[in-house]
Amino acid sequence: MTESLPATAVVRASRATFDPSRFAEVDAMNTKTSEYLAPAVRQLPGLLHFYAGVSPDGSMLQVSIWDSEEHSAQLNHLKEMVVVARGEMESVGVTFTPVVTYPVSWTI
């Protein structure tokens, strides 16, 4: 079944890397930050889905689906995301790459 999305829907991808030897530490910090980050993100208008994962290979990814580019941009200013969680993740060796937002072209 294909989910119906607004014509303005976007996918927001935030990627990061870390030394794989620090996987346990990074994974634990990811869980810790989710405790305050998830409720803050959930309150933002336009959020359709949010996924986060940490890989033992030394990378992590947050992918979210939003109803519009404007709503996805809220994460660029969310204190819990750009100050608190980012600072905690950087303290355990995580390096972030620039966030990319993509208009949704098609879905399955």
- Mean per-residue pLDDT over the chain, rounded: 95
What sign results for the dihedral spanned by CA atoms 80, 84, 87, 91?
negative
Cα distance between residue 103 and residue 13, in whole Å: 11
Alpha helices in the chain (DSSP H): 23-42, 69-72, 79, 86-91
Determine whether domain 10-103 maps to CATH 3.40.50.1820.
Answer: no
> Could you tell me if 12 and 101 are in contact, meaning their C-beta atoms sit under 8 angstroms apart?
yes
pLDDT band at residue 31 under the 50/70/90 scheme: very high
Question: Is residue 3 predicted with pLDDT exceeding 90?
Answer: no
Q: Tens digit of pLDDT for each residue in 33-86?
A: 999 999 999 999 999 999 999 999 999 999 999 999 999 999 999 999 988 999
User: What's the pTM?
Assistant: 0.91
